[in-house]
Every structure is written in C-alpha cells, then in structure tokens.
Amino acid sequence: MTLIPSSKLASAPSLLSPLPCINKPISQKKIESVLNHHIPGLTSSERIMASHIVGYPRMGPKRELKFALESFWDKKSSAEELEKVAADLRASIWKQMADAGIKYIPGNTFSYYDQVLDTIALLGAVPPRYNWSGGEIGFDTYFSMARGNASVPAMEMTKWFDTNYHFIVPELGPDVKFSYASHKAVNEYKEAKALGVDTVPVLVGPFTFLSLSKPAKGVEKTFNKLSLLDKILPIYKEVIADLKAAGASWIQFDEPILVMDLESHQLQAFTKAYSELESSFSGLNVLIETYFADVPEEAFKAVTSLSGVSAIGFDLVRGAKTLDLIKGGFPAGKYLFAGVVDGRNIWANDLAASLTTLQALEGIVGKDKLVVSTSSSLLHTAVDLVNEPKLDKEIKSWLAFAAQKVVEVDALAKALSGAKDEAFFSANAAAQASRKSSPRVTNEAVQKAAAALRGSDHRRATNVSARLDAQQKKLNLPILPTTTIGSFPQTLELRRVRREYKAKKISEDGYVKAIKEEISKVVKLQEELDIDVLVHGEPERNDMVEYFGEQLSGFAFTANGWVQSYGSRCVKPPIIYGDVSRPNPMTVFWSSTAQSMTKRPMKGMLTGPVTILNWSFVRNDQPRFETCYQIALAIKDEVEDLEKAGINVIQIDEAALREGLPLRKAEHAFYLDWAVHSFRITNCGVQDTTQIHTHMCYSNFNDIIHSIIDMDADVITIENSRSDEKLLSVFREGVKYGAGIGPGVYDIHSPRIPSTEEIADRVNKMLAVLDTNILWVNPDCGLKTRKYAEVKPALQNMVAAAKQIRTQLASAK
C-alpha cells in the first residue's frame, strides 16, 4: 500500500467513502498485497503491522444512518431497509480499514443508537415499564428505551465522560433479572468474517457498565450497583463463549471508568470481575481499553496485574502521565496498545513526535508487544476530509479526520517496523511547521485583551436579589413565568431556505423575508399559547455553535464534518484554529426584529463561551482557558449591543459547562474557576434591569451546583425531567438558590406529549423544594428537533399546568 502525502489527500480517493455492500469475501492474500505494496523483503508475519483502531464513527460519511433511522421512525421505510443501510456501512468500514493496513479492526462498535443501550439489550436489563416479555430484543423495545413511546418516557440520557456524546443510563436494582437478550456482538463478528475481515469484537466492560448505571427508583441511597457483578458476569461468559465459537481470537473490553478517581473497594470489584472471567478467556487474547485521561496509579496496578488479560490500551494524548507509569514498569509478555493518535480532535498528528514516543515504548515492552492505536474511539471526530473540497487548503493541511487518522496509525506502525514512508512524514512535518508560523493564527490585540482579564473576577455590581426586584418592576411577569429554551422546530422548508441562500439560489432580500415570516409565525404561536417570555425560534441558525463561529474570526467550518451527539442527532463542530474576535454584531438584527413584533419580553439568544469552546474542535497549541477568554470577550460585545438595542432579557447558554469538567477531581477547581469566570465576563457590564438567563443540558449538575450559583446568572433553565428530577435532590439536601430557576418540566428529546396533569405534578414537586417567586416553567431544552404537531400540544399543556398551579396558589392565600 502506498501512503498518500497529506498535501495530496484532497485529490486522492476517499479512504472511507461510501461503498455498496460487499458481496464477496476479501482474501487474506489480497489484504497482504494491499498492506505490503511498497515493503519488499518482509515475511508474511512481519508484513501485517501492529496497528489498531479503538472504534469508528457509525453515522457514515454523509450521515447515511441518520437518514435511515429517521425514515424508519417516521414509518417511511421498513426495518429491512434500515438494516440494509446499516450492513452496508459496517461492510464499508471493515473492508476499507483492512485495505488501509489496520491489523486489529474493531467490531461491534456500530450501533443503531448507543453502545451502552446495546449493552443494556445484551444483558436484558430492560426496565419493567417497557413491558418486554423476554427473547431477543427487537427494534420496538430498543427504540422505546431510547426515545420513549406514547405510553412511557425514555430512559435517562447523559454525557459520555467529558464528551458531547450522550449515552442511555442503565436503570438497575437488586431485583433486575438479566438474560442474554441481544446477539448483536456475535452476529456482527460473523458478518465481518463472512466478508473476509477478522474483527476484534468490542464490548462495554462489566465494571464500566455498572459504574455508569443508576439505581432504580426506591433504592437510590441503599443499593450498591457493583453488587450486580455476580449476576451479569454469567451473561458476559456466554457472549465470550459464542464469540470464541465463532472464531474470534481477540476481544476488546472498554473500561474507561478506570481513568476516574476510584476507591479501593471499586478497584477490588474490577479485579474480582476479570478474575472471575479469566476461565472464559482461555484460547483468547483479551484487550482492556482505557481512554480520555491518565489512568491513576492504583488503577494502573490493578489492570496491569490481571493474569488473564493479554493487552492493555492507554490514551497517551490526554493521558500523557500514564507514560511515566509505563516507564516505571509494564508487565513482561503483555501487549501495550499505545494510543498516540488523537481520537478526540481533528489536528494532524505530529508523526515525528509520536514516532519518538513509540520508539521509547518499544524499548520498554519489546518490538513484538507494541501496537500503535488511537487514543480513544474515533466516534468523537469527523469522518473524512475528502468530503471537504471547499475547506481552505492551508487549514486543511493541518487536519486529520477519522479516515486520515486511520492512515496515520498505519504510517506510524510501518515506520516503527522500519518501513517508514519518508514522503508522508515530510509532508506531515511541513504541515506542522506551516501551522506554527501562519500569520492567520495569531492576533496580538486579542491576546493582550484576553491576558488583561486575569486581574478581575468580573462580577456584576449588585447582588442577584436586588437585580431580580429591578427586573420584575420592568418586566412585570406573573409567578411561575413560562418560557422556552430558544429554538423552535426546523422544518424542511426552513432548511431549504437556508440551504438555497447559502448556495446563492435566492437573494438576501428573499432570505430575510422568509426568515422574518418564520419569526412572525413563532411569535404569534407563543402569544396564542400565552407564553410569558418569548423567543424568536432561531430560524436563521443551523447550529447553536456553528452559527456564532461563522461570524467570529479564528474559526473554520466544514461541509460534512458531522459528529454523533445522540441517536440520529449529529453536530458539525467548528474548528478553532486561531485567535478569536467579533468583527460585527451577530444576532442584534434578528432579536430586534422579533422584539418589534410583540409587547412581551423577547429573549436575545446567545451561546456562551464555554459551550462554544467545548462544542468545537479547539486549537491544541495554547491552553483552552486562553481561547475561552477570547470567546468571552466576543460574546460580551454582543451582549452589550443587544442591551443597547432594547433587549431586556438575554440568554447565554452554557449547555456544555458541565461536560468540560475534567475527569479527575484534582483538576476540577482550576477548570471551574476559568469556566465560570468566562461566563461572568460576558455579562458583567449590563444594567441591573437586564435579566441574564443561562441554560444547561443533560449532565449531572449536583456536584457543581456551587459553581453554577457562582455564575451569578439571574435565571437558569436546566435539564430535569429525563433524569428523574435528580437535580431537585440537591435542593432537598439544603442548598439555597436565590436566583430564578427553571428545571425542565418535560423531555423534548422524546416525541411523547406530556399531559397537563403530568407537568403540574412535576411543578408541584419543584415547589416542595424551591420558592414560588424564583421558579420558572419551561421544557428541558430547545425544540429544534421536534415537529410542530408535538410542540404545540406539549407547550399548551405546559402553560395550562402553570396557570392551574397559579390559581391553586392564589386560592391558598
């Protein structure tokens, strides 16, 4: 195989372009021929280099799975048609990874929704409310757990470690009855094998699965989740036996929970679990994969001490300190899967630096025990640069998406074996040098302004209680004011208008007219529903981060750089390559236009600096907090321009503040200090009468509630309904919150329409722990992904519930 210099990647055929379903097996002879095209004189065993990919994006280069899922959910296509799209995607990825030279190709990393939900299905851990009667779990039960149905809500969803990917949270109690209820792992192994590709089946490890679960209702405070290990390990043994019988020689267990701060009893449970599984591992090579951070020393000792485990994978990008542990002693005879190619970002690997690291590791573990790998699954990066023909050529030379990262892994493995592609390495070195010296990366004025921020904490001059009094005099809102989070449904017609405007098929006047009409429709609907504080619906916005990034300097954008967020939902993160500033106002025109259509308060809608940072691919050549301060200054300018334009309520979303929290507790304080500071910078200059809202999405907020209070927002709206109102527990435990707060009263990620009674019940639970004069009534999140047929009745019921309780409160006086 001749590797392609990065300067020629744009014109080369796509490494992972969509392929038709493969109908005949790939011969081993063909694979070796492709792998070794330019490496003469090597034996067959030497030619297959030690390379590995932890996992791969599942949506497809053009989001093929997304569209197939949504068509199936809308009953426009059959289960067989959905399965055909999925099979084609799997076959394409497996074949092309084999052709690229990867020795250890991951299997079972494909999912119709989420890999943790797949594990719930594998173990038959279906909550009783879904009325599953046993047997192999099918689409009905699977998607009901993920999305809810007409009768019951979906399972809780939260962030996967510190990523923007969401997983379905297992609900487990002492009475759950596990069973081997999904044969997906072995079926996909057989599917790949029939195509001539021997994959490494990947399973979410039992320790991580239980650690990420939540206790079922009624046993939250008394139940030890790890006590279920004895119940689930027999299922894992069945799966292992099936995979072994099918011919698997390697199995990968993902145990990323090992990078967290774990107590000794937890590590003992981990060790016990794999000791119990050891008898099942006979005749297999077992890889335990960790990622997203350093592995603490005690966890490192625990995982490297397991006698039945053949290999251990470490993230050496975000876990650079793990290198010191490896140098201090790595067990002889075990494979080290060295994650030196970044699975979380899109910058091209510094191949020379990685090769130096690998050569040092080779001296510790031995040449035949070192495997070049990605730092994590490539699920968290975009699919293929070849799908970006319009991306700036210089910036493009600095990047590597998933397909290019596969090439980088293979190139490093070959270089390590003595078959270094000098042209490829030279092109990479030139791109690294170009990025360091490019004048478009640095803006001295921006750097000085950001550096000057460190001398103050940027708090508003008046406390929140006094501000709320001033704001109420101006806004005159009822108790339990109703609002929504920002976006309204993005219809096909609306998307068409934006697409055609971008393609210059309609004029600017035509575009503005169409967007104004949509805003008018949204405003009138909210007035008809009698919502108190309105939004303009964000019809002009493609994405809550991309929209702002397109108007800020230092950002670049892709056409197809999609990354899965949850289910079929994909986001297209901007690329922050240089210093950030705001050349012009970004939202003032649309917010002012919307306010002119109503006498009710209209929220100006902004995305906060921490969320823009955490939902972008961020430059890795300066500390993240420096980039965040730059973004905060840009948003500050926008906030002050909105206030000057007469917008009295401004929402600065920090949906991703919690997800950026480092995985290790020792690093929390530093992150929260600069993240909260960044938010306060954005609004420290506004008048007391300007009400500042913020919004936060799915996460576990209870452990950072004091930092949320320290943000000093006037009102916070926050996810609550899908997490079984877990947020309210922090107030039951005595935390005093004096600002306005709107815990979400219904889940917008499900098509289910909640009743007035259900919403009223939820509000009454909130009133049991929150003062009447600070509580707001709102959905969990924005309504962009929903249909108007769902949104109208849901909001109608929400307003009706608020009015019902207002009446009850008034009569109780």
List binding-site positions: 66, 164, 485-487, 538, 569-570, 615, 653, 695, 697, 706, 710, 719, 781
Q: How many residues does the chain have?
A: 813
Token digits of residue 541: 């916005």
- Distance separating alpha carbons of residues 548 and 257, to the nearest angstrom: 34
Instruction: Specify whether the CB–CB gap between 635 and 606 falls below 8 A.
Output: yes
Q: Is 509 exposed, middle or buried (0-12, 13-18, 19+ CB in 10 A)?
A: exposed
Residues 655-668: b if buried by 16+ CB within 10 A, e if exposed: bbbbbbbbbeeeee
Partner residues linked to 312 by β-bridges: 288, 336
Q: Is 492 exposed, middle or buried (0-12, 13-18, 19+ CB in 10 A)?
A: exposed
Instruction: Specify whether the CB–CB gap between 572 and 615 falls below 8 A.
Output: no
Phi/psi at 247 (5° precision):
115, 5
- Distance separating alpha carbons of residues 230 and 388, to the nearest angstrom: 49
Q: Is 279 exposed, middle or buried (0-12, 13-18, 19+ CB in 10 A)?
A: exposed
Active site residue 749: yes
Instruction: Specify whether the CB–CB gap between 515 and 497 falls below 8 A.
Output: yes
**How crowded is residue 251: how many other Cβ atoms within 10 Å of its Cβ?**
26
Q: Secondary structure of the chain: what % helix, strand, coil (to 5)?
A: 45, 15, 40
Q: Is 756 exposed, middle or buried (0-12, 13-18, 19+ CB in 10 A)?
A: middle
Feature table: binding site for 5-methyltetrahydropteroyltri-L-glutamate: 66, 164, 569-570, 615
Instruction: Specify whether the CB–CB gap between 346 and 563 falls below 8 A.
Output: no
Instruction: Specify whether the CB–CB gap between 398 and 575 falls below 8 A.
Output: no
Q: What are the DSSP E strand ranges found in 127-279?
A: 157-159, 166-168, 171-172, 199-204, 214-215, 250-254
Feature table: binding site for L-homocysteine: 485-487, 653
- Distance separating alpha carbons of residues 374 and 315, to the nearest angstrom: 8
**Phi/psi zone of residue 357: left (φ > 0), alpha (ψ -120 to 50 degrees), beta?**
alpha
Amino acid at 277: L
Instruction: Specify whether the CB–CB gap between 351 and 423 falls below 8 A.
Output: no
Q: Is 777 exposed, middle or buried (0-12, 13-18, 19+ CB in 10 A)?
A: buried
In Å, what is the CA distance from 519 to each residue of 414, 535, 576, 781? 56, 9, 30, 19
Phi/psi at 321 (5° precision):
-70, -20
Taken in order 95, 98, 102, 105, the sign of the CA dihedral is positive
Q: Is 291 exposed, middle or buried (0-12, 13-18, 19+ CB in 10 A)?
A: buried
Long-range contacts of 76-80 (CB under 8 A, 24+ apart): 79/139
Please give the positions annotated as active site: 749
